[in-house]
Amino acid sequence: MNDKIVFFDIDGTLVNDEKKVPDSTKEALHKLRKNGIHTAIATGRGPFMFKDLRSELELDSFVSFNGSYVMFEDEVIHSTPLNTKVLEKLEKEAEQMGHPLVYLDHQGATSNVEKHEIIEACTYNLMPSYPIHSPQYYKQNDVYQVLLFCQEKDELPYKDSYSDTYGFIRWHEHCLDVLPHGGSKAKGIDAFVDKLGVKRENIFAFGDALNDLEMLKAAGTGVAMGNGLSEAKEAADFVTKSVDEDGIYYGLKHLGLI
| Active site (catalytic) residues | 9
Q: How far is CA 30 from CA 7, 20, 39, 40, 132, in A?
A: 14, 17, 10, 13, 37
